Amino acid sequence: MSSERHIIPFGGLRKTAQRVHPIITYALDATGRSRVRVCDIATATGDASRYDSWFPPERTWVTQLRLFDRTVADITEFLCDQDLIFVGGGNTLSMLAVWRAHGVDTALRAAWDAGVVLTGGSAGSLAWFECGTTDSYHVDRLEPIHDGLGFLSGSHCPHYDGEAQRRPLYQRLISEGFAAGIAIDEDAAAHYVDGEIREIVSAREGATAYRVEVGANGAVVETPLVARALI
């Protein structure tokens, strides 16, 4: 295992011509393994995984951590034995509550500290930060969420260019005192190593990530970050 700690949040993934999405390939490559042990955690959709087909069988062994019909006795040991942990989208609020009830939050921290790469989009990107924007509370509007895992400091907004409410809400929240943070477009990812951004990668022209913060004059400043194109 690497002594570095990796988290790769992405804003969401759209269909591409590639059989395997370039950001998934990027996350697999980050493990440094030719064959990658992947754990798919689908708590945000009640353990109903929608992502197993995203991982090439010739390169991965995919398992799932199920919590609604739990079969794993020692979750920390199980997660620390992976190379990559993938967290899918869904209801972030419910996911975090179930994780904490089963001790998955502390198990994920142990796996991260052990060098297991953490990745995911939507709920699976928001979870790693302190706070962010979510549709978990309502079916028709977004709200702030304040109790993320906090592995990464500050706030986060996924789907930045994919959902109309995301950008205006995130900027308003930050103008009102919400922690500054990172917004990520769909088909873009931020690669954090030991809590700091190493690079931004993009699988679609124009997709990137942004620092969003209050500037010296009190106005919200959105700064696009340079992304390395994966295709």
83: domain CATH number?
Answer: 3.40.50
Question: What is the C-alpha separation between 144 and 157, in angstroms, rounded?
Answer: 10
pLDDT in tens, the chain (231 residues): 568 999 999 999 998 889 999 999 999 999 999 999 999 999 999 999 888 789 999 999 999 999 999 999 999 999 999 999 999 999 999 999 999 999 999 999 999 999 999 999 999 999 999 999 998 898 778 899 999 999 999 999 999 999 999 999 999 999 999 999 999 999 999 999 999 999 999 999 999 999 999 999 999 999 999 999 998
Q: In sequence order, which residues have a C-beta less than 8 Å from that of residue 30 and are 6 or more positions away?
A: 6, 8, 84, 117, 119, 191
The pLDDT score that the predictor gives to residue 53 is: 84
Instruction: For 75-132, write each residue's pLDDT tens digit.
Output: 999 999 999 999 999 999 999 999 999 999 999 999 999 999 999 999 999 999 999 9
> Beta strand pairing status for 152-157 and 196-202?
unpaired
The pLDDT score that the predictor gives to residue 141 is: 83
167 domain-assigned:
no
How many helices (H) and strands (E) the chain has is answered by: 6, 14
Could you tell me which residues are beta bridge partners of residue 145?
Answer: 132
Q: How many CA atoms lie within 13 A of 29 on its CB side?
A: 9
129 domain-assigned:
no
155 domain-assigned:
no
CB-based contact 109:75 (threshold 8 Å)? no
φ, ψ of residue 207 to 5 degrees: the values are -80, 135
174 domain-assigned:
no
173 domain-assigned:
no
Q: In sequence order, which residues have a C-beta less than 8 Å from that of residue 148 and are 6 or more positions away?
A: 96, 126, 127, 128, 129, 130, 131, 132, 156
Residue 110, classified by CB atoms within 10 Å of its CB into exposed (0-12), middle (13-18) or buried (19+), is middle
Active-site amino acid positions: 122, 159
56 domain-assigned:
yes
Query: What is the number of structural domains in the chain?
Result: 1
DSSP state of 17: S
Domain boundaries, position 104:
6-122+185-229
136 domain-assigned:
no
96 domain-assigned:
yes
φ, ψ of residue 225 to 5 degrees: the values are -100, 145
12-15-19 Cα angle (round to 5): 115
Question: What is the C-alpha separation between 170 and 182, in angstroms, rounded?
Answer: 10
The pLDDT score that the predictor gives to residue 1 is: 57
